[in-house]
Amino acid sequence: MSDPRPLRAPGRDRCLERLVDQLGAGELGRSFGLRRISGLPDLRAQVPLLDARAHAARVDPLLDLDGPADAGAAAERAEVVTVWRTWLSEHVRSGMSEGTDLRAGLLQARRADPAVDAIAEDDLAALGAEVLRLHALDDPAHALERLAAFEPGLLVSPSAAGFACLEEQVRGPLERRLPRLRLLLASFDVRLRLRARAELHSGGWIDPRAGRLGLPSLRPPARGFTLALASAIVELLPPGDDRRGSDEAAALWPEHAIVGERYELVVSSGTGCLRLRTGEFVRVVGFDPPTALVPFPRPRVVRLPAPDPAVPLAGLSLPGAELAASVRAAFRPEDPALVAATVGPDPQSVADAPSPADSRPNHFVDTELGSADVSGIRQPLRATGLHVQVEVQGVARADFRARLGRSIDDDLIRRSPAYAHLRAQRLLRPPRIELVPPGAFKEAWDRAARRLDHKVAGSVVRVLAG
């Protein structure tokens, strides 16, 4: 089936012009032939899809963004401000006086690109707000004192986890220390249950690297947002079946998205992204009306958790979903409650004796072909066992760790014939179980929340690819 051609959109055409102007002159532009691009089909023809690893190897070393960059965020700023102003106007009648000057607290880490770093502050300035910016919450008590003295009516953060971190310091709703607070805006983790009475909305999405990717929407669901198609070049990639080793289907232009389908976002922008697979997944729940810059319905989406990555071991790769299921299934009703867990390759098993295939002479080990895959990137030695870190609530019996390891091992043997064969041949170790101290995962969650950088909340069982 032929790939549907993109519809003409002035906003997206300007994004392409900006990308070619800012990235086409240097070594990166010569390597990918960016100066020869005259339309979106040319971009697809010149640049392949790149995951984060391939992008770091092929694009990042060639980037030269020393000159002034334009993140293109101004194109859709008016729409962002209009939605925010609508939400705020609902609270003027419920407590904020009409003549009160708006003050906004911006809880956001510094971004590497100054143009991207300034987007949120410029949005709030366009709203007419006086802004106090905090770059981290290393000392939540001191941060709360600064906010209390500032008396904000609006708080904005990449993740709602930053608000939860402040609430822990307050030990109650944020309004105890911030009585004028009326609205909370975040990009990630907007499903967290906060104690604050102020409403929490999805304020759009400003990616630390690509810039503006999402716009707030007045239409339900509350956690949804509209793709910012005039601020960056966005493609939607249907997920492939990794277990069959199949390639992903061709990426779609957003105007050809199907309601209810799940997609990975692919982004190109003048800030240094070339068809970058972001690892962020969304589901299309509707469409917002066209605009002058994007004269076709724009997909409205909600975030989805990224699929668990496959875990590479010596001789096979185990699907992440099966690993997570095995860990969950290993717990019995009489066991202590599972708080959180991680599962991934065991670094202590990397130095094991090599398999028979690995012990054969490698005549290319000292060349550019040695230990490399088809992408040309050298591959490290693979682990021969799994490492499972578990935090539980309650008293565990003395044999709990050993029994948990046996249960996970037996479940994987039932699920994977390849794993069963390698275990029978003693080429793989049984899983190594580590019980971490109570509160260890909460401490890691707090550290991530205080960075004010990105999403924080995750699944109970987290699969690590490496």
Element spanning 327, H or E = helix 320-329
Largest CA distance in the chain: 79
Q: Are strands 386-393 and 337-345 parallel, antiparallel or unpaired?
A: antiparallel
- How many angstroms separate the Cα of 24 from the Cα of each of 42, 112, 211? 14, 21, 19
Residues 266 and 277: their CA atoms lie apart, in Å, by 5
Residues 72 and 10: their CA atoms lie apart, in Å, by 13
User: pLDDT for 268-310, tens place per residue?
Assistant: 999 999 999 999 999 999 999 999 999 999 999 999 998 999 9
Residues 389 and 406: their CA atoms lie apart, in Å, by 15
If 0-12 CB within 10 Å is exposed, 13-18 middle and 19+ buried, where does residue 159 land? buried
At how many degrees (to 10) do helices 400-415 and 417-424 cross? 120
Q: What is the CA radius of gyration of the chain?
A: 25
| DSSP state letters, 100-124 | PPPEEEEE-PPPSSHHHHTHHHHHH
- How many angstroms separate the Cα of 369 from the Cα of each of 58, 151, 297, 361? 17, 61, 48, 14
Task: Write down the CATH number for the domain with range 74-206.
Answer: 3.40.50.2300
Average pLDDT along the chain, 466 residues, taken 10 residues at a time = 80 96 92 94 94 94 76 95 94 54 96 94 97 96 97 97 96 96 95 94 95 96 96 93 48 96 96 95 97 97 93 94 96 94 93 52 56 54 93 92 97 97 95 96 94 87 90
Q: Are strands 316-318 and 311-313 parallel, antiparallel or unpaired?
A: antiparallel
**Cross-strand partners of 103:** 130
pLDDT at position 243, please? 40
Residues 384 and 352: their CA atoms lie apart, in Å, by 7
Residue 361's contacts (CB-CB under 8 Å, 6 or more residues apart) are: none
**Cβ 319 vs Cβ 308: under 8 Å:** yes
Residues 397 and 150: their CA atoms lie apart, in Å, by 52
pLDDT at position 241, please? 45
**Cβ 158 vs Cβ 448: under 8 Å:** no
Query: Is the whole-model pTM more than 0.85?
Result: yes
Domain ranges of the chain: 10-68+232-304, 74-206, 311-463
pLDDT at position 192, please? 92
pLDDT at position 208, please? 94
Residue 254: left (phi > 0), alpha (psi -120 to 50), or beta? Answer: alpha
Residues 466 and 461: their CA atoms lie apart, in Å, by 15
Report residue 131 as tokens.
């802004």
